[in-house]
Every structure is written in structure tokens, then in C-alpha cells.
């Protein structure tokens, strides 16, 4: 079981997707994303969300991301944050705020 103290170690922030490219170098369909996280800056990540999201629908979308995991090498790309989503049989559904929030605001 995880404790509340374990949860508090995660730094989860709201950000806005500002750029989307197809990630051609991986075997499972994915996008390369750039996310504006306000004071934290613009961070890059990769996400296997191609089944439910088209690039044009992602630009301007606010998401939640863990920003304090170490960077992870994925093929020739360094992922700097982890975007949060829910896995189901149709694909990954992004976790988003239900109202507009300022980029960089912390989940709390």
C-alpha cells in the first residue's frame, strides 16, 4: 500500500500542449509533445495516445503531468515529464482539468 506521504512526493502540474509531432522511431504509435508548464518551462514528452486523439485536437488542450520523475530515454527522444491518462480498451484517455487553470499550477 502507498501512503499519503508517497503521494505527496509526486509533483503533478497542469500544462497546455503546444506542439505535437508523430513519433516515427517507435514501434507502437505515439506522439512527441511539447507542454507549456508555466514557471517550470516547456517540457517534452512522448505519449501513446494516437487511438483517441488527433494532433489538431491536442493543441491547446490542458493536461496533468508528473514533473519530478527523472528524464527517460525513448528511442532517440528524451521524455522529461509523464502525462497522466487512463487506460481502457479504446486507448488512453487523458486526465484534464474541467476548468481552465494556469499552466504550472500544482495538483493539491
Taking Cα atoms as reference points, which of 72, 54, 64 lies closest to residue 94?
64
pTM of the predicted model, to two decimals?
0.94
- Tens digits of residue pLDDT in 36-64: 999 999 999 999 999 999 999 999 999 99
- Tens digits of residue pLDDT in 56-92: 999 999 999 999 999 999 999 999 999 999 999 999 9
Summary count for the chain: helices (H), strands (E):
2, 9
CA terminus-to-terminus distance, the chain: 20
Taking Cα atoms as reference points, which of 81, 70, 74, 72 lies closest to residue 104?
81
Distances (CA, A) of 102 to 11, 17, 63, 64, 66: 15, 13, 11, 12, 16
Architecture of domain 15-94: Beta Barrel (2.40)
Which distant-in-sequence residues (6+ apart) come within 8 Å of 2 by Cβ?
A: none
Domain coordinates in residue numbering, the chain: 15-94
Amino acid at each position: 500500500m502507498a501512503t499519503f506521504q508517497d503521494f505527496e512526493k509526486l509533483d503533478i502540474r497542469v500544462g497546455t500542449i503546444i506542439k505535437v509531432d508523430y513519433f516515427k522511431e517507435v514501434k507502437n504509435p505515439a506522439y512527441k509533445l511539447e507542454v507549456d508548464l508555466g514557471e517550470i518551462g516547456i517540457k517534452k514528452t512522448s505519449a501513446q495516445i494516437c487511438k483517441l486523439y488527433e494532433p489538431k485536437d491536442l493543441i491547446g488542450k490542458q493536461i496533468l503531468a508528473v514533473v519530478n520523475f527523472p528524464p527517460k530515454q525513448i528511442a532517440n527522444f528524451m521524455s522529461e515529464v509523464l502525462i497522466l491518462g487512463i487506460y481502457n480498451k479504446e486507448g488512453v484517455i487523458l486526465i484534464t482539468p474541467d476548468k481552465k487553470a494556469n499552466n504550472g499550477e500544482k495538483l493539491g
